Amino acid sequence: MKGLDLGRPTLDDALAGLLVSALLLPQSLAYALLAGLPPLAGVMASLLPLLAYALIGSSTTLAVGPVAVLALMIGEAVGRLGPAHGVGPMTVALVLAAEVGLLLLLTALLRLDALGALLSSPVMQGFVSGSALAIAYGQLVPLLGLQWAPSSPWPQLDALTAGFGLAALLLLVLARQFGAGALRALGLAPARAQMLARMVPLLLVGLAIAAVAWLQGRGQAGALPLAGRIALDEVHGPASLAAAPLALWRAALPTALMVALVGYVSSLGVAQGLGARRQERVLPRRELLGLAAANGVAALSGGMPIAGSFSRSGLVAEAGARTRWTGIFMALAFAFWISLGARWLALLPQAVLAATIIVAVLPMAEWQPLRRAWRYSRAEGLLMGGVTLAVPLLGVEMALGLGVLGSVALLLQRTARPHWAEVGRIPGTELFRNTKRFAVELLPGVLAIRIDEGLRFTNAHWVRDLLCEEAAGRPQLRHLVLMMSGVNEIDLSGLEALQQLALELRSQGRQLHLSELKGPVADRLYAAGLEDWLPGRVFRTQMDAWHALMAAPGEPASHWVSP
Amino acid sequence: MKGLDLGRPTLDDALAGLLVSALLLPQSLAYALLAGLPPLAGVMASLLPLLAYALIGSSTTLAVGPVAVLALMIGEAVGRLGPAHGVGPMTVALVLAAEVGLLLLLTALLRLDALGALLSSPVMQGFVSGSALAIAYGQLVPLLGLQWAPSSPWPQLDALTAGFGLAALLLLVLARQFGAGALRALGLAPARAQMLARMVPLLLVGLAIAAVAWLQGRGQAGALPLAGRIALDEVHGPASLAAAPLALWRAALPTALMVALVGYVSSLGVAQGLGARRQERVLPRRELLGLAAANGVAALSGGMPIAGSFSRSGLVAEAGARTRWTGIFMALAFAFWISLGARWLALLPQAVLAATIIVAVLPMAEWQPLRRAWRYSRAEGLLMGGVTLAVPLLGVEMALGLGVLGSVALLLQRTARPHWAEVGRIPGTELFRNTKRFAVELLPGVLAIRIDEGLRFTNAHWVRDLLCEEAAGRPQLRHLVLMMSGVNEIDLSGLEALQQLALELRSQGRQLHLSELKGPVADRLYAAGLEDWLPGRVFRTQMDAWHALMAAPGEPASHWVSP
């Protein structure tokens, strides 16, 4: 199998793997907690799934593992389905991972990857922005140790927690903004400075653990919420999956569908976006198989559902990885950190993890795409903004569902009211253009109209009524020529509308002609007996129609120019 | 209000009204029974609603009143909602009529009549055919007096019932086929013969009643099921509506939506189909208002929901009606028959009504449209056939819902995989055509591709990948020209795909050009900063691109001809 050919590992791959593992360590714990799962669910999603993707996937930059947006979706499902089916959060997560893997596999086998198109660009971008906002806002609670007293609407913060959280946030932001510059000022080579600055999350983890250990030694750690034990001896094996009740599998399916869709589309987007810059081809079907395998392995080895991470994949590309060995090195380095420090990682304050999450997700909530979308298309801008707001207000699944429905409704609406133009000849040329945009010549008794859309059920009646109306307003009209260069398809409803139009015009002693028919459209019209119902002619070009109708008997040969 | 101007009544209108009332009489009773309602519900739907439509509607041919397809839908709802909410069938029917009227009114006020387009031509035709089959099959039971003994899977027929039913069927079929001819042979003028033949349903009613009365007089009518009393003294007024529980109003809403949609679309189709032949403009919004008023009046005066009837409207047109006075005359004539014969109509055997229904609906189950659809488009033929079968197998509401979903899915799928062609120049002309269909010239180092569909979220990734693939297979390629004559819209996803394509080509040292952009598409591209990301040029015509790229420096100027 072509996917298994990983090429030769390079030193760059090993370094990139090591580098990104420094970010993966806190993120894997943080996203597990975000999803309402024990930290182990994030750890196990960061080991074997990486190997599975490296063997089967196609992108050299995509860093798979726990990701924030999926964690949010998983968290909603865990909170809803766990109590309803009397199972623990881990069981829900594993069932979801298994279903996501199977759905992606099915999609690959049935070649349904086109379904990814359902998540249009504005919906996906709005969804990611909205998720980022919802996540960042939600993380304020663990970051500051907020607690609400029963009597007051205002929360109180816990000083120790907030101290850890804000300090971590400050360190991460400063390191991102000034880290590399400061290290270069200390005399390091730019590449090495950049790399060391990227290791700050690991430094942060070490510092925070040391601080907590010190405080605990002095009995001053109090009720500071910690990540908790990474119970490597309690890994959920396939037995947990087998014990899940059937009703849970059924109830989790809608969420699994959405997780699979979002995971696939966002991963493919990240992989293609990064791949384009390095002239790397990303193969959608291979990505489907790679993500399917990774999720399946996660389900069997006690990990939460996975996808490609925005932040870590960007880091992989930046670090100069060359082959998919990077993922394997990343998993190895991650295993090293975990085996070394599992005992100590339990001491990591949740506030520090919250800071990690906030720093990772906030860059995904961009204002710029919304502005661009609004400028390009009001409707699509509204859709994007609506989905962004719907995530925190209505929840992830509702937001996604409304987004997909909105995209489809917008498409239907656009095809329902197509652009059309009366066209005339630009004098001295063979070009026929909109009379409202160009100074053109017209033929007396002839109306030429270009419809800029396939004739389909959404617009068939409207187009027929429009043309009848236009014809009715011109008592001198003898010939109506439809210029079909923009008509890419005529469905059955469209065909009937054309036939009705021809009939109505004929009853008024007028003729309907067609010009510039596209090959496939013409084939089907002729196969359905075009000659039987079209009273007029089919012209290869609008110019042919011009020549033929200019010499129409009984008409003055002169023509006039419109403004 | 323009709608209230009925014009002057003519003698033709009076005669047409009288003629059609002969068909309305048995149909109004039959469709009420078909919907599981007392005959009075059909009678009341054939009086005041006709006046309301005549005052407000726009078609001179549309004969509104009880119709078979709606009766089937109402019957399903009555059987389901009546017992569930502890109300009688009439209450359900009145609530439905009120909701249908309000929904149509709302649609007219909010100018949502475009929603009618959701019922594409194959779905509507399949639905009507399927309903006709389901109705005709169901009417075999009352026609033959079928009864199932508890022990046998085979029904037994009641000889007396079947005698009435089959005799009525025979009379109606013979009258339709040979009635006018026979009367002409007897020396009548063709027009009068035709008209008299159309009065046969009335004759049938009279004969059947006389026969039953005679049998009853001899004590031999046995258990022959009769239409039952038309209790004109028990008409349901607005009080019945007011007494309906709120939960019923909510539960009936989905059915009301479908009844409104089907009623509106089928009525408009009938009115426009008949109107086109007589050069009459049918105004969709006026039709909405007319049907809304008619249903509202039906709800307030104890009638079932109404729409325009296929069979009776055809008869109105055939009888030569000239103004909407026809509807008023029809209601008057109908009132005359009812007031004259309400006592006697109770004696009408249900088997005779079943024969009336079968003769009315069977012509709607046509094989021809399905064959035509299949020949024109396999997918739409399958959709039509599927909806036809779904009506008897899955019920009307499921069939309609699946049909609408199917239409939308088909549209998405068509736009998802658009037709495209490499184009070249037809030698000596300015025409650029598909290299696979025409002998054309090509320029070396230049690839010109025409995409025959708007670039939208459904196809944006596919088109980008396709073009990257085509470019990748041509190492000599320097310029990719997209001929946009078929691109009617570019949405945000399409814009991003184009930008990614331009970026990828640029990274390979190649240029992306656009040609033949449509006005509105170009406007939006320029407004969004086309020059910022397009590495190549925008050519007004493909010929301009040809001239510009032919002289590209460092290229041989020769060009070759493809097969």
Per-residue pLDDT tens over the stretch A551-563 = 655 544 444 444 3
Nearest CA in chain B to A522: B376
- A493 contacts B121? CB cut-off 8 A: yes
Rounded Cα distance, B6 and B53, in Å: 11
Tokens of A550: 């200019």
Rounded Cα distance, A520 and B376, in Å: 12
Task: Assess contact for A391 and A133: CB atoms under 8 A.
Answer: yes
Write the single-letter amino acid at A325.
W
Q: Does the ipTM surpass 0.85?
A: no
H-helix segments, B362-513:
368-376, 378-394, 396-416, 460-472, 492-507
Write the single-letter amino acid at B545.
A
Tokens of A401: 């569902």
Give the N- to C-terminal CA distance of chain B in Å, as an integer: 65
Q: What is the DSSP string of B308-319?
A: E-HHHHHHHHHT
| Residue for token pair 């006046």 | B51
H-helix segments, A244-349:
246-277, 284-300, 310-318, 325-345
Rounded Cα distance, A194 and A176, in Å: 10
B234 to each of B44, B229, B302, how far by Cα in Å? 11, 11, 9
Rounded Cα distance, A356 and A267, in Å: 21
Predicted local confidence at residue B186, as pLDDT: 82
Residue A442: partners with Cβ closer than 8 Å, 6 or more residues away: A424, A425, A435, A448, A559, A560, A561, A562
- pLDDT < 50 regions, chain B: 1, 555-563
Q: Which of B116, B457, B507 sits opposite A120 (nearest CB)?
A: B457
| Residue for token pair 């360590």 | A25
Rg (CA), chain B: 31
| Residue for token pair 């994007």 | A384
- A376 contacts B492? CB cut-off 8 A: yes
Residues 438-497 of chain A whose Cβ lies under 8 A from any Cβ of chain B: 452-454, 456-462, 465, 468, 472, 485-486, 488-489, 491-493, 495-496
| Residue for token pair 């009335």 | B202
Write the single-letter amino acid at B302.
G
Of A50, A68, A52, A65, whose CA–CA distance to A326 is shortest? A50
* Residue B449 DSSP class: E
* Helix axes B519-527 and A368-376, enclosed angle (nearest 10): 150
- Residue A373 contacts B, CB cutoff 8 Å: yes
Predicted local confidence at residue B350, as pLDDT: 87
Task: Assess contact for A78 and A89: CB atoms under 8 A.
Answer: yes
- Residue B375 contacts A, CB cutoff 8 Å: yes
Rounded Cα distance, B312 and B330, in Å: 11
Predicted local confidence at residue A3, as pLDDT: 54
- Residue A376 contacts B, CB cutoff 8 Å: yes
Q: What is the DSSP string of A511-534?
A: EEEEES--HHHHHHHHHTTHHHH-
Task: Assess contact for B8 and B323: CB atoms under 8 A.
Answer: yes
Rounded Cα distance, A49 and A293, in Å: 7
Of B485, B461, B481, B476, whose CA–CA distance to B555 is shortest? B476
Task: Assess contact for A461 and B115: CB atoms under 8 A.
Answer: no
- A120 contacts B492? CB cut-off 8 A: yes
**How many residues are listed for chain A in this entry?**
563
Task: Assess contact for A296 and A55: CB atoms under 8 A.
Answer: no
Residue B233: partners with Cβ closer than 8 Å, 6 or more residues away: none
| Strands B64-65 and A511-515, bridge-based pairing | unpaired
Query: Model's pTM, two decimal places?
Result: 0.82
Tokens of A110: 């049935």
Partners of residue A455 in chain B, C-beta under 8 Å = none
Task: Assess contact for A463 and A430: CB atoms under 8 A.
Answer: no
Residue A17: partners with Cβ closer than 8 Å, 6 or more residues away: A321, A325, A326, A327, A328, A329, A330, A331, A332, A333
Rounded Cα distance, B485 and B545, in Å: 14
Any idea where the domains of chain B sit in the sequence?
2-111+119-366, 420-561
Q: How many CB atoms lie within 10 A of CB A241?
A: 17
- pLDDT < 70 regions, chain A: 1-4, 551-563
Rounded Cα distance, B213 and A113, in Å: 70
E strand or H helix at B105: helix B89-109
Q: Which of B380, B500, B541 sits opposite A492 (nearest CB)?
A: B380
Partners of residue A489 in chain B, C-beta under 8 Å = 414, 453
- Residue B506 contacts A, CB cutoff 8 Å: no
H-helix segments, A111-236:
121-144, 159-174, 180-185, 190-198, 200-217
3-state secondary structure B157-192: CCHHHHHHHHHHHHHHHHHHHHHHHHHHHCCCCHHH
Rounded Cα distance, A275 and A282, in Å: 7
Task: Assess contact for A254 and A81: CB atoms under 8 A.
Answer: no
Q: What is the DSSP string of B452-476?
A: -S-B-TTTHHHHHHHHHHHHHT-TT
CA–centroid distance for A338 within its chain: 32
Per-residue pLDDT tens over the stretch B415-436 = 988 999 999 998 888 889 899 8
How close A157 gets to chain B, by Cα (Å)?
43
- Taking the CA atoms of A84, A90, A93 and A97 in sequence, report the sign of the dihedral they define: negative
Tokens of B5: 């101007």
Domain boundaries A420-561, corresponding CATH code: 3.30.750.24
* Residue B364 DSSP class: G
Predicted local confidence at residue B272, as pLDDT: 84
Rounded Cα distance, A354 and A139, in Å: 6
* Residue B377 DSSP class: -
Rounded Cα distance, B140 and B146, in Å: 8
CA angle (A170 as vertex; A167, A172 as ends), nearest 5: 110
Of B110, B167, B150, B415, whose CA–CA distance to B289 is shortest? B110
Task: Assess contact for B521 and A370: CB atoms under 8 A.
Answer: no
Predicted local confidence at residue B557, as pLDDT: 42
In this structure, the dihedral spanned by the alpha carbons of residues B203, B205, B211 and B213, taken in order and rounded to 10 degrees, is -130
CA angle (A220 as vertex; A219, A221 as ends), nearest 5: 100
Predicted local confidence at residue A269, as pLDDT: 85
Nearest CA in chain A to B265: A461
Predicted local confidence at residue A437, as pLDDT: 86
- A276 contacts B117? CB cut-off 8 A: no
Q: Which of A375, A468, A485 sits opposite B528 (nearest CB)?
A: A375
